[in-house]
Structure 1
Amino acid sequence: MLLRNSFLLLCCLFTSSSFATRWFEIEVLIYKQRPAPYLQEDFSLKHDEITAKREKDLLSPAYTAQAREECLNGDSRFQSTTFADAIITSNPHSNVCDESVDYLSSYDELPVTPVVEARDDTDEIYLLAPEQLQFIEQRKQLDRKGLTPILHTGWRFPEMSESKAPSIRLFSGDHFSQALDSQATTDNDFINLVSPVQQYIPEQLQTIPKWELEGLMKIYVRHYLFIHADFDISQRLESGDYEKARFSQFKRVISNEIHYFDHPRMGMIVQIRRYNH
């Protein structure tokens, strides 16, 4: 009887571990390529906006929390003084770092690596802390080659099928629309004192990309690990216009191997590592 019960217990344990969800962590290092004067690529083609049915934004909460902490430490970049504030009150709202401040829009340029607290659980998809990233040598190699990192981050995620896996929204670099937003706010401050109205932005200015790099990355498992990445990498031309270059790549990858994605305007280094299995 004891032998039979022990056998049943072992079977239950084996079955439970066999169907346990596997977890992985991905590290992503995106950098800008050096300008190529003889580049023949045509980036004038218009593309549809990059969207997905299941999107997840891990960066916005991290950058917002990071900016609020800087605001509390007196960083003037994240103050919200406006012309209206100065007239209405002698104690402008900028001195208060509360939830009403749009911290994300206050960045001129995003930090290359978002700062978050280190975690080691498997409760939800979450960002890796800076100290959990491992591409130290890769960063040094980029520095030696004169290449500029634009985003270095990573996250932990459970094994999911293509239909269930979310597309992680990534963005980084210069905040192209920040100057436009600031000008529109200044121009409408006096009008808003009398009668709040929707701010008008000329149609030709609405095409300005928000961030230098914007896009989605999806990782899913179908016997193997697959990465589907779609990004727009933008730059401002001498004419004052903005040009978007579409980066769209699909690749089957092997865990623990370092994979390189190349494009005339950007490069990406990726490694998916097993976590807790």
Structure 2
Amino acid sequence: MVDGRRIRQSAAVLSTGLALLFSTLAFAQTGSETIPDRGYRWFEVEVLVFRYTEPEATDPEQFSLSVNPIPVEGSRDLYTPRLTPDISPLYYALPQCEDTRALIRPIRQKFLTADVLRAEIQLPPEELLGCRRLPDLPIVSEFYDDINETIAVAPSRLPVVISGDKRGTREEMLAAEAPFLVPEDHFALSPLRQQLQRRRDAEPILHTAWRQPVFARTSGRKHRLIGGRNFTDEFDYFGFPKPSNKADVIAQLESGFQHHAQGGFSNDEQVGPVANVKKLLAAIERNQFNFAADSTLEAQVPRRPERMPRGLPEHVWEFDGLLHIYLVGNFLHIDTDFNLRDIIQLDPAALSVSEQVSDFLEPNAHNLEFLRAYPFKQVRRVISHETHYFDHPNYGVVVQIRRTDLSNRR
């Protein structure tokens, strides 16, 4: 006969074990839901930008030479921190330089001899690997204003494909504090990019994809897109050559003017002022050259803005601009504001008689390089999972917005 007390004890132990088991399962189940659901509607956005290498001829007055500035202050940039990371923690982890190696770059260039530099190269490997050159001396901080060895150098050209490492899972979206790039295997427009790469008349500039929550127009932040070549060392934001380039152009112009004033040389033969005058008179007789009045001449070079707008980008990229995706009710909208850059040759109109003559005798002496911008701005209501193409005579932008597990109204 079974003892009733033992049965009751066994039943109590079994019920306690089951209670612990179910509580553990319940904790494990709620543990995955500990991330608060803030109700954001997440979408995956893919963008492919390409330029036409042989654009169709367009009306020259369709796009002004003056650059339309696009301030990027307050926008979200997913690329610059990834391509030019902050290296200051690594830099300040290095030991401080000693002896002549502690001197900053301007002083080293002016005062260090070849023997001193040769001696530094012969240092032991552990001392030659690297050290921190800038001491932390606030008392002379003004001396280092233009010298910062902790700034990462931006690449001369960005890679076409820019991707991330997050898979875009539900947990990642719930925990994310900001939009994030997704891996390349998420890309749906890769076949189109490969097709463009095989063509002769088109060249991909940027192919990227990310996940972001989408809000109303006034609540969400715009995304900055960049791609292609970095023109920062050659041109300023408004397309004018940097000072070093300007100096070269001015020197070429001065030498050209001196060339004509002094007779100059052409095809290894001396051509005197008399020959130039004869050439000019012959051209006037054949109606190939006419002097223009000053009032009819307008320089092609655009004017610099009197005041620099706030929030301009630090670097001048071949493709740069803002993409804003927002919701109006339950409808997705895309707002684009882009600039594509291209180097052109300007021929400023000559305002004086001597300049007109000089330009006729040597047509290319007066040409200037200018980095013009082709703007594109458009707002369009779109449908998710459809491919949307934004066309421009010089470039194209393909956008696809895809739903995720967290895209529905919440």
Q: Which residue of 2 aligns with 1:254?
A: 383
Q: Cα deviations across residues 187-221 of structure 1 (Å, max 9, x unaligned)?
A: xxxxxxxxxxxxxxxx97x9997111111110001
Query: Which of 81, 101, 125 matches 2:179?
Result: 125
Provide TM-score, normalisation by structure 1. Answer: 0.69
Are 2:39 and 1:39 aligned? no
> What pairs with 1:56-75 in structure 2 (closer than 5 Å)?
56-65=76-85
Q: How many residues align?
A: 227
SS in 2 for 1:240: strand
Q: Which residue of 1 aligns with 2:397?
A: 268
Distance 2:199 2:229 in 1: 21
CA 23–126 in structure 1, closer or farther in 2 if over 3 Å, else same: same
CA 96–262 in structure 1, closer or farther in 2 if over 3 Å, else same: farther
Determine if contact 1:30/1:268 at 8 Å carries over to the other structure: yes
Structure 2 residue runs without a partner (length 5+): 1-35, 89-103, 122-127, 133-147, 237-241, 245-302, 346-367
Determine if contact 2:43/2:211 at 8 Å carries over to the other structure: yes
SS in 2 for 1:61: helix
Distance 2:54 2:369 in 1: 18
Find the structure with the greater CA-based Rg: 2
Provide TM-score, normalisation by structure 2. Answer: 0.48
CA 114–246 in structure 1, closer or farther in 2 if over 3 Å, else same: same
Offset at residue 108 of structure 1 (A): 1.3
Query: Which of 221, 246, 251 matches 2:327?
Result: 221
SS in 2 for 1:241: strand
Distance 2:320 2:179 in 1: 20
CA 151–82 in structure 1, closer or farther in 2 if over 3 Å, else same: farther
Q: Which residue of 2 aligns with 1:27?
A: 46
Query: Which of 131, 138, 144 matches 2:192?
Result: 138
SS in 1 for 2:196: helix
Identity value in percent? 30
Q: Cα deviations across residues 123-156 of structure 1 (Å, max 9, x unaligned)?
A: 1211222232221211122123331110111211
Determine if contact 1:118/1:132 at 8 Å carries over to the other structure: no
Q: Which residue of 1 aligns with 2:164?
A: 116
SS in 1 for 2:336: strand
Q: What is the RMSD computed on CA atoms of the aligned residues?
A: 3.7
SS in 1 for 2:162: coil
Determine if contact 1:228/1:251 at 8 Å carries over to the other structure: yes
> What pairs with 1:1-277 in structure 2 (closer than 5 Å)?
20-36=39-55, 38-42=57-61, 43-46=63-66, 48-51=68-71, 54-65=74-85, 90=120, 100-105=149-154, 107-120=155-168, 121-122=172-173, 123=176, 124-146=178-200, 147-179=202-234, 210-222=316-328, 223-238=330-345, 239-277=368-406
Distance 1:29 1:67 in 2: 30
1 or 2, which has the higher helix percentage? Answer: 2
Determine if contact 1:219/1:227 at 8 Å carries over to the other structure: yes
More deviation, 124-133/157-166:
124-133
Determine if contact 1:125/1:156 at 8 Å carries over to the other structure: yes
Offset at residue 29 of structure 1 (A): 0.2
1 or 2, which has the higher strand percentage? Answer: 1
CA 125–59 in structure 1, closer or farther in 2 if over 3 Å, else same: same
Offset at residue 35 of structure 1 (A): 2.5
Q: Cα deviations across residues 5-44 of structure 1 (Å, max 9, x unaligned)?
A: xxxxxxxxxxx99x83221010000000133352225322
CA 101–148 in structure 1, closer or farther in 2 if over 3 Å, else same: farther
Q: Cα deviations across residues 36-68 of structure 1 (Å, max 9, x unaligned)?
A: 352225322535421367411111112124999
CA 259–37 in structure 1, closer or farther in 2 if over 3 Å, else same: closer
State the AA in 2 paired with 1:162.
Answer: R
State the AA in 2 paired with 1:258.
Answer: T
Distance 1:216 1:29 in 2: 14
Offset at residue 97 of structure 1 (A): 11
State the AA in 2 paired with 1:31.
Answer: F
State the AA in 2 paired with 1:237.
Answer: I
Distance 1:31 1:119 in 2: 26
